[in-house]
Amino acid sequence: MDTNLFAAIDAYIDGLFVPADPALEGALAAAAEAGLPEIQVSPGQGKLLYLLAKLRGARRILELGTLAGYSTIWLARALPEGGRLVTLEHSPAHAAVARRNLERAGLGDRAEVIVGAALESLPQLEARGEGPFDMVFIDADKGNYTAYLEWSLRLTGPGSLIIADNVVRQGKVLSPEADDASAAGARAFNAALAAEPRVEAIVVQQIGAKGHDGMAVALVR
Ligand code: SAH
Ligand code: DHB
Ligand code: MG
């Protein structure tokens, strides 16, 4: 595969559809400065998440896996006046960078970063009466994706969108190595999603600046 060509096409698409943006570029610079891994969604994927949130008319969005808040900024920008986003992040260091990035993007008032393992934060969110969410973006540890699907269904309602990143893993999802919890998690998640009667869903294979991967898109019945 010509990975240079795929990256060049991503740059071409981003050049056309993703204008230069100080808040997003500042978020990436702050993430790099803090030594965070460069595993955020690509600019084009961010724009796609933003468009999906707008298509859904999402007023409440839940994200699992914040990192530096790059995808969070895209999603929070799609909210209407009075809309709210909650994002769950295990690493206090990542959350601190994300909070600064969200503040700098002018989104500190509508996006809340909750620190902790998502499987501990999710029951707390439910207990405090959060939800239903109109959209969930699953992008935390891939080994727990099937559990995150179950929680997403608990915290959404009919017409809600559930999106999950990294469900193809450079094709490793076809036959995960014994020590690859991420690929195994993605494979189990895709099987659970396909068998889940409460959603209609598809996996979109993607290739570009982030390599070969894919996003699952599910609509809650
Ligand atoms: N959504 C981000 C990228 C997230 S990367 C973006 O596209 O901009 C995955 C993140 O999930 C990392 O920051 C990692 O610390 C976090 N994470 C890993 N395990 C987690 C868990 N159990 N609960 C919550 N977050 C977790
Ligand atoms: C990883 C995580 C991601 O969310 C991603 O988009 C790419 C890679 C990772 O943990 O390796
Ligand atoms: Mg991801």
**Which residue CA neighbors atom 11 of ligand 2 most closely?**
39
pLDDT band at 2 (very low <50, low <70, confident <90, very high): confident
Q: What percent of the chain has pLDDT over 90?
A: 98
Q: Which helix (H) or strand (E) holds 80?
A: none
Q: What is the pLDDT of residues 96-118, one digit of tens each?
A: 999 999 999 999 999 999 999 99
Question: From atom 9 of ligand 2, which residue's Cα is the shortest distance away?
Answer: 39
| Tens-digit pLDDT profile for residues 173-186 | 999 999 999 999 99
167 Cβ below 6 A of ligand 1: no
CB 166 less than 6 A from any atom of ligand 2: yes
Question: What percent of the chain lies above the pLDDT cut of 70?
Answer: 100
* pLDDT above 90 for 1: no
| Alpha helix segments (H runs only) across 18-161 | 22-33, 43-56, 70-77, 92-104, 118-127, 145-154
Q: Confirm or reject: Cβ of 34 under 6 Å from ligand 1.
A: no
Mean pLDDT of 130-151: 98
Q: What is the pLDDT of residue 77?
A: 98
Q: Is residue 111 lining ligand 1, measured as CB closer than 6 Å?
A: no
Q: Decide whether any atom of ligand 1 lies within 6 Å of the 88 Cβ.
A: yes
Rounded to the nearest angstrom, the distance between the alpha carbon of 39 and the centre of ligand 2 is 5
Average pLDDT along the chain = 98
* β-pairing verdict for 84-89 and 111-115: parallel
- Give the pLDDT confidence of 56-92 residue by residue, as tens digits: 999 999 999 999 999 999 999 999 999 999 999 999 9
Written as six digits, the tokens of 27 are 């978020």
pLDDT at 144: 98
Q: For residue 106, give both structure tokens.
A: 């002018």
Nearest-atom index, ligand 1, CA of 94: 13
Residue 166 Cα to ligand 2 midpoint, Å, equals 7
CA dihedral 59, 64, 68, 70 (to 10 degrees): -50
- State residue 135 phi and psi, 5-degree precision: -155, 140
Total-model pTM: 0.98
Q: Using a 6 Å cutoff on CB, does residue 181 contact ligand 2?
A: no
pLDDT of residue 91: 98
The average pLDDT across 26-36 equals 98
Mean pLDDT of 188-209: 98
